[in-house]
Amino acid sequence: MIAVIDYGMGNLRSVQKALEFVGAKVVVTHDIDLILNADSVVLPGVGAFKDCMENLKKLELIDPLRKFIDSGKPFLGICLGLQVLFEESEEFGPVDGLGILPGKVVKFPNGEAGQGKASSLKIPHMGWNQIKVKKDLPLFEGIGDAPYLYFVHSYHVVPENLEMIATVTHHGVEFVSGIQHKNIYAFQFHPEKSQTLGLSILEKFSNLN
């Protein structure tokens, strides 16, 4: 059973439907017992970092999330679900994140002095873009070295530990679009919106157990 965490934000139903399409058993929930007893957990999210953290606190989900990740069972973060794993975000901040991974979340350059080509950068970064695979992960089997996947975001993560970088993408600047650390897999792109390749990633995640 995969628990998709419902904390009042994000594209929960599209994640649920995509996982069910590839044959996974899914529950959308904020029930702590269901989350802790799940075989794997998905934390999706679209919206503001601060709102996400406030909602997780109100639902008392922060400690259960940390406990689940400490259990070693597979965890997948999508978009905002990637960003909140880190220590802080500069979005309306700084705002503290879950602090599970060292690093921070920063905004794309907005064309200030010295940014050069970034002056014409479209923010949010929205639509299809290539990822460059940096780690040979089971989730990436069969998708190629530079597939196109779907993005919607204005901020990106800057991990302190470069060894956790799984994919990078170029949008004005090169940014980290995916990480993997122990049992944690987390992506800035939306596999549930990325058609066949995204479904392939979700299917392989659902089979990690």
Strands (E), the chain: 2-5, 26-29, 40-43, 75-78, 86-89, 95-96, 101-107, 125-130, 132-133, 148-153, 155-159, 165-171, 173-181, 184-187
Supply the CATH number for residue 46's domain.
3.40.50.880
CA-angle at 141, arms to 135 and 142, nearest 5°: 125
What is residue 118's predicted lDDT score, i.e. its pLDDT?
47
Q: What pLDDT, on the 0 to 100 scale, is given for residue 37?
A: 97
Structure tokens belonging to residue 94? 């700084």
Per-residue pLDDT of the chain (209 residues; tens, 9 = 90+): 999 999 988 779 999 999 999 999 999 999 999 999 999 999 998 889 999 999 999 999 999 999 999 999 999 999 999 999 999 999 887 999 999 999 999 999 875 434 445 456 888 899 999 999 999 999 999 998 889 999 999 999 999 999 999 999 999 899 999 999 999 999 999 999 999 999 999 999 999 97
Q: What is the pLDDT of residue 33?
A: 97
Q: Which of 30, 52, 79, 181 is catalytic?
A: 79
Q: Which residues pair with 75 in a beta bridge?
A: 41, 184
192 among known catalytic residues: yes
The answer to whether the CB of 159 falls within 8 A of the CB of 171 is no
* C-beta of residue 75 within 8 angstroms of C-beta of residue 184: yes
The pLDDT assigned to 115 comes to 47
125 included as an active-site residue: no
Q: Which of 125, 153, 156, 190 is catalytic?
A: 190
Question: Out of 153, 171, 181, 192, which one is annotated catalytic?
Answer: 192
CA-only gyration radius of the chain, Å: 16
Residues 6+ apart with CB under 8 A from 195: none
Burial class (CB in 10 A: 0-12, 13-18, 19+), 112: exposed
pTM to 2 decimal places: 0.93
52 is catalytic: no
Domain count of the fold of the chain: 1
The structure tokens listed for 95 are: 């705002």
**Range(s) of the domain holding residue 121:** 2-206
